[in-house]
Structure 1
Amino acid sequence: MRLRAKIQRDLLFFKIAQAVEKIGRSCFLKFTPDFVAFGAIHGLGDSDPTTGGGSIQCWSRLPKESLFHEYKIESNSNNEIYLEMKVEDMILAMRTCNNASAIVMRMTGRSADAYLTFTITTEDHQGNSRPITQNVPIVKILTADGASNTSVFDEPMIPTPEVHIMLPQLERLRHVASSYKSISDYVVISANLAGEMVFTTSDGVQQLSHYDSDKDGGMIAAHYGAAEKAHVETRFTNLHNPVLKDDDEEHPHLDRLRSQPKDFASVLVRVSDLQKVLQSHYVKPLNVICSIVPSHSILFYVYLKDNTQDATLTYFIPESAK
C-alpha cells in the first residue's frame, strides 16, 4: 500500500478538514487513482455510537488535480485506500504549512502504526530551504468491505428538493446564527423561488411589531408580544435561484417556479447544526447553494472551485424534532 502526493499551494486538502471539524472528531478519506473523497457524520468515529441516520452529515469528492500534483497510489484493493483520521491532528499539521514552498504527503509505517507524513519545506529570506516533518496518526485503515459498511461514504437518500437558492454572504449568516443561538435552540429556514430567504426563531409570538432593513437587501425583523421570549426573523431578498444541472421539465423546482414562485418551502433545524455548516467559510467558497426539502431536510452545496459538482463540499441536515 503506497500513497504519495504533493499538496497544492492553496492547501485545500487541509481546509476541507478544517471546514468539517465541527461535524465530528473523525474525518474519513477515500483515495482513488482519480479522486479523493472526504466524509464526516456527527458522532461517527467518536465515543457516541451514532452511525448516521438522523445526524448532520457532510461529504466531498474532488478530482485529484484539485488537491494534488505528482499523485501516486497503489493498493491491493483496486488501488483504493480508505482512512479514518482525527480532524484536530490534521489541522495541527496545517499550521506549519501556511508559508511552505512545497508539501509532500505520503503514507508511512505499518497498518497498526501508520501515519500520513507531511514533509513541509520552508525557505528563509536568504533562500535557504528547511524541511519539517509532521506525522499525523492514522486512526484506522479500512478494508474495502469495511468502507462499504461505513455510512459516512453513503450519501443519504432524500426526496427531490423543491427550492434552490444562493445563500447570502457566509459571514453575515454566521453573525445571524450566533445571535439566534442565544435566543433559541432551533431555527426555521424558509426560501422561495422569488429570491427570498427567511431565518426565523421557533419560539415567541408571531405578531410583527418592528421591521428594519439594510441597504444590501437583508431585513431584520424583531417581534415582541405577551410571550416571554422574543421572536426574531431575518429576511434576505434579491437572492439568485439557480437551476441545477439535474433539473428537468418534471423537477419540483421548475413546477413551483411556474405556479407558486412566492410560496415558501421550510425546514426546522438546530441552530448549532447551521453553525456547523457555516464553518465552510474556511474553504473560501465561490458560492453556496441551499436546497430545501420541506419538512424533511436541507442541503448546502459549497462550491470550491467553480460551479460544477466536481468540486463541492455538501452538507445534509435532517428536519429536527423538538
Structure 2
Amino acid sequence: MKFKAFVTDNGVQLLERRFLPALERTGKSCHLFLTRDHAMFLHLLNGDGVQCLAQFRKEALFHDYRISSQNDDRIAFALDLSLLLRALRSAVAVASSATRLEIKLVKKLPPNSTQPMPYLTLETRGYKSAVIQDIPISKPLSRAQVTELQSALDTAQDLPQTLVQVPDLNQLLNLVDRMKQVGDVVNVFISKHGDLSVQVSTTLISLGAEFRRLVVIGEKTNAPAEDQNLSAQTRSSRSISRGDGQYVQVSVKHFAKSLQCHLTRPDCTFFGIAPQGSCLTVIFQFFVPGSRQTDKSISLHCRLPVLDPGS
C-alpha cells in the first residue's frame, strides 16, 4: 500500500485557505479516501450528523501522483483535520519558490513503542534542508471497509430531483446565527417553482425568511397565478398538497454547520430535499477562475439528517 504526491501551489491554496478550515468546522476528524483519479474528504457518511463530501480530481491538488494498493488502488483512513491543517500551514510558512511539498503515507516507530504506526507525512524540501511533519492516522481501512465506504459514497452522490439556488449566502448565514438564539429546529420548505423558506418557531416567537422565484435546476413547475397573493404558509401548504413542494425539519446546529462551507468561497449554493424527505442537501458549486463555467475538478456538498416532526 503506497501513496506519494507533490502538492501543487493551487492545491495548497485550496486546502489551507479554503477547504480544510471549512471541513474542520463541520467536524474535527474525517476520512481521506484516495483513488487513482480522486482525493476525497468524507465526513460521517455512516453517521447521524452532517454528512459532508469534498471531492477533488487529483490534478486539482497534486502532481506526480502515485498510488497503489491491493484494493483496486484505493486507500482510505481517518485523520484529525486540525493536525493536517496545522502541518500544512507550517509547511506554507517555511516554503519558498525553491521548495516542494511532498505528501506520502509512511510507517514509523513511535517513541517508546515496538509497533510501527501509520502516518501521513508532509515534507517540505529545499536546496539545503527539509522540514518533515508526521500526522498520525488510523490504520488504513480493510477491503471490506473500503467497499462499505464506497457504497455509502455512491449513496451520498444521489441528488434531489429539484434544486433551488440561494441568491445571498451571507444573508442566510446571518439569519441562522439569529435562529440559534430562538430554537433548535428549523423548518425548510422548497418548491419546484423556486420558493425556499426557512423558519424557526416557538410558542412565543417565529423567525424566518422566504426566497421566491429562485433559479431552479431539475424538475420545475410554474407557480399557479391564484397563489401569488397568498401568505407564505398557505402557499407552501397548497404546494405540498399538489406534490410540487416538500417540507422537512432539521437541526439548527446541523444547518449552521453545513453553511460553514461558505469558507470554501463557492460561486453558487443550491438547496434540495431528497425523495421522501430523507435528507436536506446543500450543494456548493465552483466556477473555473475568470469564467462562469463549472469547475468539474472540485465538488462539495452536505447532507443533513431530517428530524421527526415530534422531535
Shorter-chain TM range is: 0.7 to 0.9
Q: Pick one of 53, 63, 66 that aligns with 2:60.
A: 66
1:1-322 correspondence to structure 2 within 5 Å = 1-10=1-10, 11=12, 12-14=14-16, 15-41=18-44, 51-52=46-47, 54-98=48-92, 100-101=95-96, 102-110=100-108, 112-120=116-124, 131-150=130-149, 153-156=152-155, 161-204=160-203, 229-243=204-218, 253-254=219-220, 256-257=221-222, 263=239, 264-293=245-274, 295-305=277-287, 307=294, 311-321=298-308, 322=311
Could you say what secondary structure the match of 1:58 adopts? strand
Could you say what secondary structure the match of 1:73 adopts? strand
Q: What 5-or-longer segments of structure 1 have no aligned partner?
A: 43-50, 123-127, 205-228, 244-252
For residues 159 and 103 of structure 1, the distance between their equivalents in structure 2, rounded to whole angstroms, comes to 35
Q: Which structure shows the higher helix fraction?
A: 2
User: How big is each residue's C-alpha offset from its partner over 1:189-244, in whole Å with a ceiling of 9 and x where there is no partner?
Assistant: 2233443322111324xxxxxxxxxxxxxxxxxxxxxxxx211122234532234x
For residues 158 and 72 of structure 1, the distance between their equivalents in structure 2, rounded to whole angstroms, comes to 26
For residues 178 and 25 of structure 2, the distance between their equivalents in structure 1, rounded to whole angstroms, comes to 18
Q: CA deviation at 1:159?
A: 8.6
For residues 185 and 191 of structure 1, the distance between their equivalents in structure 2, rounded to whole angstroms, comes to 20
Q: CA deviation at 1:288?
A: 1.7
For residues 8 and 276 of structure 1, the distance between their equivalents in structure 2, rounded to whole angstroms, comes to 29
For residues 120 and 153 of structure 1, the distance between their equivalents in structure 2, rounded to whole angstroms, comes to 35
Q: CA deviation at 1:186?
A: 0.9
For residues 147 and 201 of structure 2, the distance between their equivalents in structure 1, rounded to whole angstroms, comes to 38
The structure-2 alpha-carbon separation of the partners of 1:41 and 1:151, relative to structure 1 and needing over 3 Å to count, comes to farther
For residues 159 and 202 of structure 1, the distance between their equivalents in structure 2, rounded to whole angstroms, comes to 31
The structure-2 alpha-carbon separation of the partners of 1:160 and 1:257, relative to structure 1 and needing over 3 Å to count, comes to farther
1:319 is matched by which residue type in structure 2? V
Q: CA deviation at 1:25?
A: 3.1
Q: What 5-or-longer segments of structure 2 have no aligned partner?
A: 109-114, 228-234, 240-244, 289-293
Kept in 2: contact 1:96–1:120 (CA 8 A): no
Q: CA deviation at 1:153?
A: 4.2
Q: CA deviation at 1:31?
A: 1.1
For residues 303 and 8 of structure 1, the distance between their equivalents in structure 2, rounded to whole angstroms, comes to 22
User: How big is each residue's C-alpha offset from its partner over 1:111-156, in whole Å with a ceiling of 9 and x where there is no partner?
Assistant: 941211112368xxxxx98643221111221122222234884344
TM-score, normalization: structure 1?
Answer: 0.73
Kept in 2: contact 1:303–1:309 (CA 8 A): no
Kept in 2: contact 1:37–1:61 (CA 8 A): yes
Kept in 2: contact 1:82–1:144 (CA 8 A): no
Kept in 1: contact 2:49–2:254 (CA 8 A): no
Could you say what secondary structure the match of 1:21 adopts? helix
For residues 231 and 30 of structure 1, the distance between their equivalents in structure 2, rounded to whole angstroms, comes to 42
Q: CA RMSD in A?
A: 3.1
1:213 corresponds to:
none
Kept in 2: contact 1:85–1:140 (CA 8 A): no
Identity %: 21
The structure-2 alpha-carbon separation of the partners of 1:303 and 1:115, relative to structure 1 and needing over 3 Å to count, comes to same
Q: CA deviation at 1:55?
A: 3.4
The structure-2 alpha-carbon separation of the partners of 1:175 and 1:155, relative to structure 1 and needing over 3 Å to count, comes to farther
